[in-house]
Amino acid sequence: MAGGGAAAAAPPLSSPWRALLQRALDANAHLRHSTYFQLATVGAGGRPANRTVVFRGFQEHSDKIQINTDARSNKIGERRNCPFGEICWYFTDSWEQFRISGSIDAIDGSSADPAKLQNREKAWFASSVRSRLQYLGPQPGVPIIDEEQVKDVRLDPSADPVEAFCLLVLDPEKVRQHFCYTTC
Which residues contribute to the site for its own copies (CB under 8 A)?
31, 33, 36, 38-43, 46-54, 67-69, 82, 84-88, 90, 92, 97, 99, 101, 130-131, 134, 141-145, 178-184
Between 14 and 97, CB nearer to its own copies? 97
Distance CA(84)–CA(81), nearest Å, equals: 9
Shortest Cβ 7–its own copies spacing (Å): 34
Which helix (DSSP H) or strand (DSSP E) does residue 74 occupy?
Answer: helix 74-81
Distance CA(26)–CA(105), nearest Å, equals: 27
Residue 28 identity: N
Between 63 and 86, CB nearer to its own copies? 86
Shortest Cβ 137–its own copies spacing (Å): 11
Between 5 and 130, CB nearer to its own copies? 130
Between 115 and 150, CB nearer to its own copies? 150
